[in-house]
Amino acid sequence: MTYLSVVVPVFNEAPNLGELNDRILESARGLGREFEVIYVDDGSTDDSWTRLEVLQAENRGVVRLIGFNRNYGQHMAVLAGFERVRGQVVVTLDADLQNPPEEIPRLVAKWEEGYDVVAGWRENRQDSILRKLPSLIVNRVAAMVVGVEQHDYGCMLRAYSREVVDQINHCGESTTFIPALANTFARRVTEIKVGHSNRSMGRSKYNLFKLIRLNFDLMTGYSLLPLHAVSLLGILIALLGLGFGFFLFIRRLIVGPEVEGVFTLFAILFVFIGLQILVTGLLGEYVGRIFREVRRRPRYFIRRVVE
């Protein structure tokens, strides 16, 4: 029986794949147990698929390939791998070599202590402040909506028990954030410090817009907390508005008509309009998620599988 499955989402990482595969195989073989490596090509437009076919031909029985017809995103690629894993423990990592494959045995050893999820924590993260700051927001939002405090929800270097993976596979959500979803199913969760390397080739596939999109998915996909917060904010603003209106009424009785406060009123009006737009967008986000779920379209289309 397969003991370890390694799932690697790939998107335009052709220059890294040879070294990545060698390092994964070396680390996995060091465990002395049966293992497999599943590469999921997320609609790459470079030579990634061709390179993966070469690696699979060189390592038949160990390397398996899944290819999407287009780009669906990192988490959809991991889900496609989860649906085909055979191992008792499943490790995920990125293909950009920033997640060192040499950490796989440490993740597995920690999982063997009885944990359902072992998360990697990039303590000395080799990224710019423009990447670290949005990730910090993601971590805080994820901890708030899931209820499990972790330092690094954005680290893909993680180990999952097969039971947690099976529960994730039973979820048919059109959008998801796997680390948060896994923590909702896990009984015991822990994290260990892992290495993080500078990207030597290629460029990051996560931009600021995708990180903002990820935050919206987290807030609206796992909790009603945003709606509750907006409701409380609306009550507070209504009370402040009543108080300010009463203040203006008393001031008019005492001072008389005046126009000096017109700019203050405009400023307050703009704040109210901004909050209304925010609330409308938030409600639209929830309605949009409902619309996607009701359609029940496949989350992704697989172009080919190479076993």
Whole-number Å distance between alpha carbons of 61 and 56: 8
pTM for the whole structure: 0.77
Instruction: Please indicate, yes or no, whether residues 217 and 229 belong to a single structural domain of this protein.
Output: no
pLDDT digits (tens, 9 = 90+) for 27-73: 999 999 999 999 999 999 999 999 999 999 999 989 999 999 999 98
Residues 50 and 130 in one domain: yes
Number of domains in the chain: 2
| Residue 158 banded pLDDT, cuts 50, 70, 90 | very high
- Radius of gyration (C-alpha) of the chain in whole angstroms: 24
Q: Which two tokens stand for residue 197?
A: 């390397």
Angle at alpha carbon of residue 66, lines to 63 and 68, rounded to 5°: 155
CB 41 within 8 Å of CB 68? yes
Q: Do residues 8 and 20 touch, judged by C-beta distance below 8 A? A: yes
Q: How far apart are CA 115 and CA 92, in angstroms?
A: 16
Same domain, 216 and 239: no
Same domain, 81 and 170: yes
Cβ atoms of 173 and 298 within 8 Å: the answer is: no
- Tell me the C-alpha distance between 289 and 244, whole Å: 38
Domain limits at 269? 225-295
CATH code where residue 179 lies: 3.90.550.10
pLDDT tens digits, 247-289 = 777 877 777 666 566 666 766 777 777 777 777 777 777 777 7
